[in-house]
Amino acid sequence: NAGVMQNPRHLVRRRGQEARLRCSPVKGHSHVYWYRQLPEEGLKFMVYLQKENIIDESGMPKERFSAEFPKEGPSILRIQQVVRGDSAAYFCASSTGSYQETQYFGPGTRLLVL
């Protein structure tokens, strides 16, 4: 299966801990997008990355959230000092090019902050 992989699928953290969400894109895809879906709400764009570059982070909260897509390895979405409001499903998608290419979604990571 060469699809987008995300891990972990479920993550439980206590308030104040750090959460690290990983996304391995489709093989050959160099563009990665992160989206957040809060409970009972729609999807919201967070960040768009190419290898080693952040292209658009206009949807990222200003504090505690960061993302990277290193030359080697998966893309990481990092949330420091998590709060209950961070509880959501975080989806990663990848594509061969920019937004105008079809995006392939991963299964998501469901983060629960206690």
Partner 1 sequence: KNEVEQSPQNLTAQEGEFITINCSYSVGISALHWLQQHPGGGIVSLFMLSSGKKKHGRLIATINIQEKHSSLHITASHPRDSAVYICAVLFNNDMRFGAGTRLTVKP
Owner of token pair 């699928």: 9
User: Based on CB atoms, which residue is closest to partner 1, 79 or 93?
Assistant: 93
Q: Is 45 in the site for partner 1 (CB under 8 A)?
A: yes
Binding string, 59-98, against partner 1, x = CB under 8 A?
A: x-----------------------------x-x-x----x
Q: Is 102 in the site for partner 1 (CB under 8 A)?
A: yes
**What 3 state SS string does 8-31 have?**
CCEEEECCCCCEEEEEECCCCCCE
The count of residues in the chain is 114
